[in-house]
Amino acid sequence: MSYPAAIFRRVVAVCATVAMTATGWAAPATAVAVSIAPAPLQYVALGDSYAAGLGSAPTSDKCGRTSVAYPALLARQADGKVAFRNAACSSAATADVIRQAGTLTARTGLVTITAGANDLGFRQVLAACANAATAAACRRGNLALDRRLKTLPRDLNRMIRAVVTAAPDARVVVTGYPLPFAKAKSCPSVPLSAKVRARANQVVTSLNSAIAAAATRNRVRFVDVDKEFAGHALCSTRPWLVGTSGLRDNTVLHPTATGHARGYLPVVAGSGLADRA
């Protein structure tokens, strides 16, 4: 039995006591055990293109959702014990996730969220910094990134509170993002200087710290994927992120199918879901 199946297993036992009374004498009570098939766990995935699975497999879905994204993998390995819906959508920011929370109900038992990067405009700044001709736009973009990082905690708090309010009995798990670049002096496959790559990693580290702090503040679970992706960022020999080939379809920096299966899935599945309230 795979570990997600163990996570989602729930067994319901109902004991009924049958009493018979005759001419004033009470007959012995009999305990009857009745096995009832448990209702599937209601699982909803929220977030951006990382939660949708953009870049992990070809898809015609308008939100970029795929069957090999980590939420789909988690649900599929639960041996039919999960009723799954992926409400995530590419380009979603925290405000969009608040709207996605409209898919939650009081019966929702599990929610996963990957969101926050689109609030920063991170990839747009990287694109500007990749070209010397747009150096001024790169500088302006970095200043804007710093400003957005200061307001991001407020937006993350609003997002998580909206989710917890919509699904008060659910276990909520919020994920971070992998660092995009390995610490390499040279990286011929990526047209970014070492300085820009280091700045990108710094921004993602700050983003993950803000997400973790918001999760702690709202008493939900945060999972860090950095260790799983270590050695598999861009500029490594075996990257689990889409490289420059993804510039054509906007999938660059997104996890590949392997990134979802070996980077995200193990830490989300092992994040204490078995002891959810």
**pLDDT value for 39:** 85
Is pLDDT above 50 for 16? no
The answer to the question of residue 114 being in a domain is yes
In a domain, 3, yes or no: no
Q: What pLDDT score does 25 carry? A: 38
210 CB contacts (<8 Å, ≥6 apart)?
116, 149, 152, 153, 156
Q: What is the mean pLDDT of residues 72-94?
A: 94
Q: Which two tokens stand for residue 1?
A: 């039995």
Residues 228, 53: Cα–Cα separation, whole Å: 17
Q: What is the pLDDT of residue 231?
A: 96
Mean pLDDT confidence for 68-97? 95
Residue 150 to residue 226: CA distance in whole angstroms: 22
For residue 235, pLDDT over 50 is answered with yes
Q: Hey, what are 56's tokens?
A: 């992990």
Tokens describing residue 136: 């001024």
Q: What is the CA radius of gyration of the chain?
A: 23
Domain assignment present for residue 24? The answer is no
Domain boundaries, position 180: 39-275
DSSP state of 233: S
Evaluate if residue 85 carries a pLDDT over 60: yes
**Residues 106-140: tens digit of each pLDDT:** 999 999 999 999 999 988 898 888 888 899 999 99
**Under 8 Å between Cβ of 101 and 95:** no
Pairwise CA distance, residues 216 & 199, whole Å: 26
Question: Would you state the pLDDT for residue 277?
Answer: 36
Q: Residue 138: which of 84, 72, 199, 70 has the closest Cα?
A: 199
Secondary structure class of 229 (helix, strand, coil): helix
pLDDT band at 4 (very low <50, low <70, confident <90, very high): low
Position 105 pLDDT exceeds 70? yes
Is the pLDDT higher at 262 or at 245? 262
3 pLDDT higher than 60: no
Rounded mean pLDDT of 249-277? 86
pLDDT at 179: 97
Q: What pTM did the predictor assign?
A: 0.86
CATH number of residue 58's parent domain:
3.40.50.1110
- pLDDT over 90 percentage in the chain: 72
The answer to the question of residue 65 being in a domain is: yes
Helical axes 135-166 vs 194-217, angle rounded to 10°: 20
C-alpha span between 47 and 42 (Å, rounded) = 17
Distance, CA of 55 to CA of 246 (rounded, Å): 8
The pLDDT score that the predictor gives to residue 31 is 53
Catalytic residues: 49, 254
Query: With bands split at pLDDT 50, 70 and 90, how would you rate the model's confidence at 15?
Result: very low
Q: Residue 199 falls within a domain, yes or no?
A: yes
Closest C-alpha among 254, 233, 262 to residue 114: 254
User: Over the stretch 195-218, which tens digit does the pLDDT of each residue have?
Assistant: 999 999 999 999 999 999 999 999
Residue 11 counted as domain residue? no
Give the DSSP per-residue string, 106-167: TTEEEEEEE--HHHHTHHHHHHHHT-GGGHHHHHHHHHHHHHHHHHHHHHHHHHHHHHHHHS
Per-residue model confidence as pLDDT tens digits over 138-195: 999 999 999 999 999 999 999 999 999 999 999 999 999 999 999 988 898 898 999 9
Domain count within the chain? 1
Amino acid in position 65 = R
pLDDT at 186: 87
With respect to residue 81, please indicate whether it lies within any of the assigned structural domains.
yes
Q: At what angle do helices 194-217 and 122-129 cross, to 10 degrees?
A: 170
For residue 21, what pLDDT is reported?
34
**What per-residue confidence (pLDDT) applies to 248?**
87
Mean pLDDT, all residues of the chain: 87
